[in-house]
Amino acid sequence: MAAMLVLVTAAMIGKYLHQDTKDAPVWYDVGRRVLAGRPLVGLTSYRYPPTFAVLIAPLCALPFAGFFFVWYTANVALFFAALKQTARLTGGRAAWPVALVAAVYAVDNLFLGQTNLLVMVLLYGSFLYLLRGREWASGAPLGLSIAVKVFTLPVVFYLLYRRRWRAAASTVLSCLFFLLLFPAPVRGLRRNAREVREWGRRVVEPYLSQGKAGDWGQHALDFGNQSLQAVAHRWLTRVDANVAARRGAPIYVNFVRLSESQVNRVVLAAFALLALVFLAACGRRAPETKDREAAEYALVTIGLLLVSAIAWTYFFVMMLLPLAVAWRLVGRGYSGGYPHGPRGTSLTARISLQIALAAFFIATALLRVHYLRALGSLCLTSLALYLALAAAVWDMRKAP
């Protein structure tokens, strides 16, 4: 891991020198706009609410070089924090193959200057508070993650399902605070509210009303998007998975040509099946053990990636927790600490987990094969792990 960090740092220096700084200039621009009191509305490359711009604004007081490398350093620290959080959630350090695979996606985040490492740490922090029974505290990081990137919003439905009323209330209140009040001293209440409404119109409303990925347009169907919705569109409609922004020949993987409304119905049916699998595996009673609770959080995390309108390849750094949970279930078969004796997972479930883990590792090794990603390699292997984990949770719940 240390050798990889040295190599990645050297690569980042090279990228800076060659002005290959990806999304960092976008963050720097919006941060400077906040410092200068300029509007955030109408920026086609910024698809976040004002909250993130205000959070990052202090770093943007630095020259761009300082901002670029401080942001990079902060993201490296966030990845190691996520490794530590995962160890606490699973009861042991993540195995090196799991950490290495997650690091592949972490490097992608670092090269792109993206925000998913921050969102992951906030999400895992919320899970840790829940695991410790601190429901009110769990809502603050989750609410902030939603205010930064609405991607984690479906976790609220899990909290309601588990009757974690205080956690759900805390999340909603925290999200409203970070969206509406936190930026207000800098942006002003009215202007901030206007910018939040504009963000909702551009990003949230199209997905809720039409099932579309905000204003991404055709780009949302690029092979880099591994969400279930995007993969279904590539399979079921005649769409080029190699968007114009990329060089190379068109990529088509569809085997039928359905209408937009028909594809949307297929996607909704798939979402319903995912929910039914979750409900059947987890049951109505709350988890009695920390292992089973961590496994439920792993299922929730995979579910976020599958149901999101956008799940670019670098989003899959969040698979760190599901991979770590699956690895430990395979390695131990059961864990101690149960109040009524050990509850194990069946041989079938463990074999399923092994196959799903191997498939995800292979998909990661073959990321550069664009045709496989157009087919949905990460989506499908994550779905396989979701089903295998669901089977393991079922066994843990049903075992005497």
pLDDT at 340: 31
The pTM score is 0.93
pLDDT at 341: 31
pLDDT at 334: 45
Residue 296 lies in a domain: yes
Residue 81 lies in a domain: no
Residue 400 lies in a domain: yes
Q: How confident is the model at residue 202 (pLDDT cuts 50, 70, 90)?
A: confident
pLDDT digits (tens, 9 = 90+) for 183-197: 999 999 999 999 999
Q: How confident is the model at residue 214 (pLDDT cuts 50, 70, 90)?
A: low
Q: Check residues 205 and 209 and name the one with the higher pLDDT.
A: 205
pLDDT at 349: 87
pLDDT at 265 over 70: yes
Residue 290 lies in a domain: yes
Average pLDDT over residues 22-37: 94
Share of the chain above pLDDT 70, in %: 93
pLDDT digits (tens, 9 = 90+) for 44-56: 788 899 999 999 9
Q: Check residues 400 and 395 and name the one with the higher pLDDT.
A: 395
pLDDT at 105 over 80: yes
Which residues constitute the domain of residue 336?
A: 211-400
Residue 117 lies in a domain: no
Q: Check residues 288 and 243 and name the one with the higher pLDDT.
A: 288
Mean confidence (pLDDT) of the chain: 90
Phi, psi of 20 (to 5 degrees): -100, 70
Average pLDDT over residues 149-165: 94
pLDDT at 154: 94
pLDDT at 363: 97
pLDDT at 317 over 90: yes
Residue for token digits 């972490």?
106
Quote the tokens at residue 39: 């509007």
Average pLDDT over residues 37-47: 86
Residue 91 lies in a domain: no
C-alpha 11 chain-centroid distance? 25
pLDDT at 338: 34
Structural domain total, the chain: 1
Q: Check residues 170 and 337 and name the one with the higher pLDDT.
A: 170
pLDDT at 201: 86
Average pLDDT over residues 118-140: 96
Q: Measuring CA to CA, which residue among 232, 175, 169 is closest to residue 200? A: 175
pLDDT at 337: 37
pLDDT at 110: 95
pLDDT at 213: 61
pLDDT digits (tens, 9 = 90+) for 69-102: 999 999 999 999 999 999 999 988 878 899 999 9
Q: Lowest mean pLDDT: which of 2-6, 21-25, 105-109? A: 2-6
In this structure, how many other beta carbons lie within 10 angstroms of the beta carbon of residue 244?
10
Residue 260 lies in a domain: yes
pLDDT at 217: 63
Residue 159 lies in a domain: no
pLDDT digits (tens, 9 = 90+) for 322-381: 999 999 998 865 444 333 333 567 788 889 999 999 999 999 999 999 999 999 999 999
pLDDT at 245 over 60: no
